[in-house]
Chains A and B, each alone.
Chain A
Amino acid sequence: MKKIATGNKAVAEAVRQVVPGVVAAYPITPQTEIVEQIAEFVSSGELKSRYIAVESEHSAMAACIGASITGTRTFTATSSHGLLYMHEMTNWAAGARLPIVMANVNRSLGPGWNIWAEHTDAMQERDTGWLQVYVSSVQEAYDATLMAFRIAEHNDVLLPVMVNLDGFTLSHIMQPLETVEPGDFIPPLHLAHAIDVKNPAGYGGLTGPDQQFRFRWDIERSLRDSVKVIEATEKEFVKRFGRKYGFTEDYCCEDADVVVVSMGTLGKEAEVAVDLLRKDGIKAGSMRLRWFRPFPKLNLKGKQVVVIDRDYSFGRGGILATEIMAQTKEEIFSVIAGLGGQEVTYDDIADFVRNRRIGEEFWFGVSTRV
């Protein structure tokens, strides 16, 4: 069915279709529209879920954990400070191997109070054991949310999945949306370690130095295994519904001399920048990273690389740039742009490429104009 929707409404629509037993959530701009829409679906009877209006994000994730361990499908949504407030519990959710799906609407961190897009919130969750996907359109927000449930609940994964969409530039932008009938694309959840009062077990109790590392390794092993589950899910998705996704979305990369690597909505701007650059005879390409965890093997051999980070690790560098440097020998030009919703146009991105200084870091709006 074709309609027009915001990124937030698209996520809520996907959640309505997969019918979680429990949704526990707390409002925060610019995510609130997702949970308001779900509350509306529940109250109108369109969605047969229990909506728990918790008193904090810490409790939102704790409630999802409590619900999930009974074998119930669960969903929550958050953003920015909400995500950081639940950080203790996001670790718990992954450690407890619970297939919780969460939408995170990427937003800057205070102070000052800034409600606009930035990826540093989700990046601070990168070591928790959650899978993370970043989307760039309303359609992709919907499709990725559907796929997130299938991937999280797969027996070879059983880890939570975070669907990231940029605050305002995607959460509140209206675009065409084509919904599907998921049917058995989302099979019922069978959680092997669900609580069973007939077979009592202890969960998460004292675990000694001779055992704890085994559970940590299990998380990593499943993250590695999740690569093939993601690939299989995306393959099944294109077969059933006709839309193709991968670990990256590559645009004119094959013959490119210089490739822009970015995430989220900036990746779409980068494609326009590539068109402009190609008109000027610069063989540019765009590689939009979709999955940040598990981090894919990027094919950047022989290319000059311009990485745009909408995030930063103070004292080290752009987080995406750092991850890429750890993987490839190619030297990169690291651009820090779009923090706190700073406007970055495709002309700006084309300028980053034209004036690139490989091996250097450039703060857009702060460093000397390239």
Chain B
Amino acid sequence: MSRVAVVGWASTAALEPDGRNEAELLGPVVDQALGMAGLSGAEVDVVCSAGSEFLNGVVGTVMGAFDALPGWPPRTHSHLEADGAFALYEAWIRLMAGEGGVALACAFGRPSAADPAGVLALQQDPYLVGPLGTGPRHLAALQARAMIDTGRCTERDLAEIAAARRGLDVAALLAMPHVASPLRESDCSAVCAGAAAVVLATEDRVPISCERPAWIVGIDQRMESARIGQRDLTVSTSTRLAADRLGLPGSSIDVLEVHAPFSHQELLVIDALGAGRVGSLNPSGGVLPADPLMASGLVRIGAAADALLRGGAHRAVGHATNGACLQHNLLCLLEGA
């Protein structure tokens, strides 16, 4: 099988609505990613896009994004209702399956819903959980409390993570009220609109201009039960499984980007990876300050690749998640030449 590398990426997060639609958010990001890669839209063989109709409130929301994607002449294109990290996984698979030499994985999210959390609640079991109106923050809070009860962390530990990611003062954060105890507003990501794009190329299609392609050593993703009462919420089993498959436990990682929409989840993912050493954790700032839903996981992979593309790092891991309490996790292991 041919090696595949990340050769370019870009992202944007719009914390305030600014009137731009999906294509207007995604278009410049695609241009930037291709520009960084030194490739044109015409050279893209495979496009894997991702988004969420429920969040955007429009059936067929991908149709609106077509203007931003290399679309003519026709080529392989598939669309997922999920985070863009899974679109990248599919793009990687399609390149290795021989469907082309260059792929574009992209994601866009424009939560038009006044209450994105209310929409995310629709991920829950409609038979047994839906009637209770439980939202993602409540479920995450149950997980956070379980970690505190077992002594894995304290509320101060969470505030320190939030402070580090958001550039704020720990004491000030601890003085804020809970939004879903033991979580505070600062422990929860700031959901916003945004877009991301990552360009992949097989070995024979990496442009000369790309001096340091970020080679994908492997991607593994695993799912757990949606029934949180059935799981041990203090361990991210699926992340551990994926980490084992990639040979990560005990290894050295230069850059780790974790998709943790809640502060305590950063600890869970790091524990599950079991890395011997992590050089730099979430140099991008992670997801707490800005969480472009459906693009955040893809941004983590792009940010992890960034360190290799610019030089200065040799081994990076990007993590992405979907579902409440880290139900479904993906790890992408990247290395320089």
A binds B: no
B interface with A by C-beta (< 8 Å):
none
